[in-house]
Each structure stands twice: as structure tokens, then as C-alpha cells.
Amino acid sequence: MFEISLIPAFKDNYIWLLRRGRQAFVVDPGDAAPVLQRLAADDLELAGILITHHHADHQGGIAGLLAHRACDVFAPAEESITGRTHPLRGGERLELLGVAVEVLAVPGHTLGHLAYLAPGALFCGDTLFGAGCGRLFEGTPAQMSASLERIAALPDATRIYCAHEYTQMNLPFAQAVEPDNPDIAARIQRVAAARVAGQATVPLTLGEEQLSNPFLRCREPAVIASAQANGARDASPVEVFAALRAWRNVF
């Protein structure tokens, strides 16, 4: 397996650096400058770029990186991506740095959103966050609900490498949905301590998300009850998800 480390960017973005020996890939480089600094500091060669979706804070650094070194750019086929060399739609299997990586279609945040699944690690862009999920800028609640269920079916030990430090911001909403959930209360304390210490809360574990992320708990009675009190017309997972997402948008 390759080594994984984070490169902070902007206010709360994470660019993920995958390295094996002197070869490196980066995931969602919204800004070229911090990536180039890390490559130089660690004496790494950029072998490729993985893009989850088209938003500027995820692809804005591609041109600067390609100006430094030509490399492969794997990205959604259905979205406008700078410098894309390998258009993907989900279902493909790649070999990156000697590691098998599966491409998953996870529409919802955007229509062509992809995630990249390596052994024990998922790079999911803006689909799933710590205690939350991405806004529906282009997709439907049914699409996002299905995408989250696909992620939720992975092993609990899967480490989730999302693209933003949003965990602390999301937890108050999770607690509003399930005020009596002890896992959420305990996570609030852990995350607060980590942030005070200047530590990232990402990567996440899928098992922890299953216990404390309301968007992965749409079949839980307490979550269903909260969703129905906030507009859900029935107890179906898609309807519960839609009500939660709409509530979160104004929370």
C-alpha cells in the first residue's frame, strides 16, 4: 500500500498525497502551490492526479501542476476538468503506484462525482464528511442517498479520506438529530480536544460514521422520528435523507 498524508489548502481543504518511493499522486489539488512545496520538500516526482469532481477548490491547481510536470489526470468523464487524460465514469479498476484502485460513481454533490477505493482507504471528495455529507448542488436526494449507502456497505474499518475539515462543524447537527446518542456526545469531546491540539479529524473510520453520522443512519428509529418532525413524509431512507439534508442546509 502507498503512504497517505495530507496537504492543507485554503481554509479547510485537504489535498491527499499518495506516495510510494519517490513517486506520488495527489487527490483533488485545488491549489498547486502547497503541492509543489511538498513535492520539493520530500523530493517526490508527481506521477498523477485524481479528481473527484469539478469544483474549483478540487481541481484549481491542475494547470499549475501540469506546468511543473506532465502527468496523468484521472477525472470524471461527464464534468469539465482541466487537463483530464483519463475520463472515468465509475466501475473502472486502476493500478496506481502498484496498488489496485476501484473507481466508484457517487453522484449527488455533483452529477459526475467519483470516489477512489484503495485497500482499506476511500477518497470520497465531498460526498461524505465527518458527521455529515455534501450539499446537493447538482444531484437528487435519491442519488446521494444511494451513493452514501454504497459507501456504508464497505467494511467498518475503511478509512475515509474526505476533502474538508468539517467534523466539528457538523457534530452539533448530528446531536440535534439524535440528542440521546452517546456516540455523538463522546465524539464531540474527542473532536474538540483534537482541534484544540491542532490535529486533523480526517481520516475518519466508516465504523465511527455509522455510529454518529445521521446521513448514514436513515434507518434508525430516532433519526426517522427527527426527520419526520422536520418534513419527512414517510420513513423511507430517501425521504428521511432528503428531510435531513434540507434541515442541515438551514441549521
- Residues with catalytic roles: 53, 55, 57-58, 109, 126, 164
**Grid coordinates given for 187:** 465524539
Which one, of 236, 4, 243, lies nearest residue 118 by Cα? 4
Provide the 8-state DSSP code for 164.
B
Helix 141-152, helix 237-250: angle, nearest 10: 110
Question: What is d(CA 216, CA 179) in angstroms, rounded to the nearest whole number?
Answer: 16
On the 0-12 / 13-18 / 19+ scale of CB atoms within 10 A, 246 is: middle
Q: Which residues contact 3 (CB under 8 A, 6 or more apart)?
A: 18, 19, 20
Residue 90, phi-psi category: left (phi > 0), alpha (psi -120 to 50), beta (remainder): left
DSSP string, 10-53: TTTEEEEEEEETTEEEEE--S-HHHHHHHHHHHT-EEEEEE-S-
Q: Are 21 and 43 in contact (CB under 8 A)?
A: no
Question: What is d(CA 6, CA 200) in angstroms, rounded to the nearest whole number?
Answer: 9
- How many CB atoms within 10 Å of residue 33? 13
